Structures are given as C-alpha cells and as structure tokens.
Amino acid sequence: MGRGNCMSNELRPVNFDSILGQENVVDRLRISINSAKVRGEALSHCLLDGAPGLGKTTISTAIANELGVGIQIANGGNIRSVKNLMPYLMKMEENMVFFIDEIHRLPVSVEEFLYPCMEDFRMDVGSDNELSMELPKFTMIGATTEAGNLSRPFFDRFTFKYQLKLYGQDVLSKIVSASAGKLNMKIMPNAATNISMRSRGTPRIANGIVQWCRDYALDKGSQTLSNTIVDEACVLSGISKNGSTEQDRTYMKALKKFGRPAGLKTLVDLTNIDKDTIQYVIEPFLMRQGLIKRTPRGRVLS
Ligand SMILES: Nc1ncnc2c1ncn2[C@@H]1O[C@H](COP(=O)(O)OP(=O)(O)OP(=O)(O)O)[C@@H](O)[C@H]1O
Ligand SMILES: [Mg+2]
C-alpha cells in the first residue's frame, strides 16, 4: 500500500538471510531462485499477496538481490495507460525483475497489454497492435493486498503465487531485537516481547513501535529499551497491550454511535479515516479480536 518510506527502509532486510519468518514462502523461493541461476534464465513470474506491512516489497527486492539482477519498481496506481508502462519495458534487461506494487490497481487495458509481454516476452504495439517487438526475458513480481481483484487470465500468468501470513509473536520479537540493534539501541528480552505483542502480527508496525520507543528512551537519556520504557512510550502514544490504537477506538465509537449496520463509505465519513486503512488495517484486526463482523448489510458489532 505504498506506505514504505525512508523510516522503514533503513530497517528493511536486503537478502533472504535477514528476512525472518515466512519460511514457507522464502524456502520455496530459494529453490526456484537456485534453479533459475543454474539454468541462467529468468525466474518465473511471482505474485505476492498479503496485508500491508507483511513484507511484500521487502521480499521482492530481496529476490532481485538473491538473483543478482537489477530491479525496476512501479506502482499499479500510477500506471494509468500503456504509455506509462512503456518506459519500464524499454529499459528491461535479460533476467531483470520488474516489480509492480499494488498490481490490482492496473487498468484492464494495461493488464491485457501485459499478457503477451509476460507469456511470450513480446509486446504488441501500433494502432492495431500490428507491430510485435521482442522483449528480454524478465521476471514480473506483482504485490497485492487483493489477489482476488486481478482478472483471471492475469492471475494465471503468474507461475508462482505466495500468500504472506501474519507473523507469530516469537518471530516478531526477533525482528524487534534486530531492528533495535540496527538503530544502535540495546533491548531487554522482555521489552522485545512487549513490543511484539503490540504489533498486530505485522513487522512494519513492530518497527514503528521500536522507532518510537527509541525516541522515547533517548529523550529520557537512555540507550536501552527496557520493559518500563516500552510501557511508558506506548501509553503516551495510545498503543494498548494487544496493539489496538486510537484509530481502532475511533472506529469502534463511530460504529456504536451509528447503532445499525454501517457500510465502508459511511465509516469513512464518520471517522475521517481513509478507506484502505479501514479495510486492510483496522477491520481485519477488530475482526480477529472478535469485536466486529462484516455482514451483507454492513459492519456490525459482535
Ligand atoms: N520478514 C521480515 N523480516 C524482517 N523485517 C521485515 C520482514 N518483513 C517486513 N519487514 C519490515 O517491515 C517493513 C514493511 O515491510 P514491507 O514494506 O515489505 O511490507 P509490504 O507488504 O510491502 O507493505 P505494503 O502493502 O504496505 O506495501 C520493512 O521495511 C521491513 O523493515
Ligand atoms: Mg510494499
């Protein structure tokens, strides 16, 4: 969801050895990457599906690093026509990775243009698609929060599909410790556990809390993240023990006050929170907590 920024980039693992968790995905990728390297060919196209902040961009850039090839990065939301796509294809080199984030946002016309590019490494251009141009063999990596929104033929052209899962607390705790280390902070084991429990199974959230606790600790003149520091910092920023935030509470209050099933649009209007955050961050969490339900008539308290 394009929320990657320089803050998280310094903490982003660059190769598979520093990617923690998601073993099922990473192990399978290692095998296919080794095979591609042995054959000297491009890795087959991959689709990564998962909630925001679970590591789609991280894994995609690490794939290029593991393959030892260059990567071009585009966002489906910015490619409004084939014209916007062309510069990437013109710069494509043999075995390179073409990463398209939020790939479900590509217009159908662009999806259709990509079919022969992906399948036969050929693009059909000209007013009647009468000119066919050969492309270097490349690897398309698509990242999406909604694999279900890709058209079937497009979905089918990705040979490998990977579904990223929420992270367990043990793995998150390791990610938290690694991130604290990268930020030159000491961290107590119980403080790492504390942060991991507030992280909603999501590395990006974990890293955000680590960074806030670092700021808080330094302000108190300490280079160590202790359990007490984490507790205090989280109270100040409204992150509860189970990871609920001010936004979750705003949402719950709005739904309670509304008093009947509410649609997504209504909730956006009532809370002033953007649609994607409600749909992909707040609601999945509240559903896991058993606090709300999505019904055909709208969202309700449960
Ligand atoms: N498996 C992992 N091990 C260690 N750190 C990770 C892992 N996955 C993600 N991270 C950390 O979480 C941050 C967010 O991950 P990333 O940007 O890859 O998520 P994303 O799935 O692309 O999210 P979005 O859907 O918002 O684009 C990264 O910058 C990285 O620091
Ligand atoms: Mg991303």
Confidence grade of residue 175 (pLDDT, cut at 50, 70, 90): very high
- Closest residue by Cα to atom 9, ligand 1, is 55
Residue-averaged pLDDT of the chain: 94
pLDDT attached to residue 131:
85
Separation of 145 CA from ligand 2 center, angstroms?
10
Please tell me the CATH code under which domain 246-301 is placed: 1.10.10.10
220: pLDDT strictly greater than 70? yes
Is the separation of the CB atoms in 175 and 203 below 8 Å? Answer: yes
DSSP sequence for 232-270:
HHHHHHT--TT---HHHHHHHHHHHHH-S-B-HHHHHHH
Confidence grade of residue 3 (pLDDT, cut at 50, 70, 90): very low
Torsion sign, CA atoms 147, 165, 16, 215: positive
pLDDT attached to residue 195:
98
Helices (H) and strands (E) in the chain, counts: 14, 11
Torsion sign, CA atoms 222, 228, 234, 235: negative
Instruction: Provide mean pLDDT across the span 296-301.
Output: 96
Ligand 1 atom closest to the CA of 167, numbered from 1: 1
Q: Which 3 state secondary structure label does DSSP give 291?
A: coil
Separation of 179 CA from ligand 1 center, angstroms?
12
Please tell me the CATH code under which domain 169-237 is placed: 1.10.8.60
211: pLDDT strictly greater than 60? yes
Confidence grade of residue 149 (pLDDT, cut at 50, 70, 90): confident
- The full set of domain ranges for the chain reads 6-163, 169-237, 246-301
286: pLDDT strictly greater than 70? yes
Q: Is 274 a catalytic residue?
A: no
Is the separation of the CB atoms in 36 and 43 below 8 Å? Answer: yes
Separation of 75 CA from ligand 2 center, angstroms?
9
Is the separation of the CB atoms in 301 and 292 below 8 Å? Answer: yes
pLDDT digits (tens, 9 = 90+) for 79-128: 999 999 999 999 999 999 999 999 999 999 999 999 999 999 999 887 77
Pocket, ligand 1, Cβ cutoff 6 A: 1-4, 8, 11-13, 19-22, 50, 52-58, 143, 145, 175, 203-204, 207
Confidence grade of residue 148 (pLDDT, cut at 50, 70, 90): confident
Q: Which CATH superfamily is domain 6-163 in?
A: P-loop containing nucleotide triphosphate hydrolases (3.40.50.300)
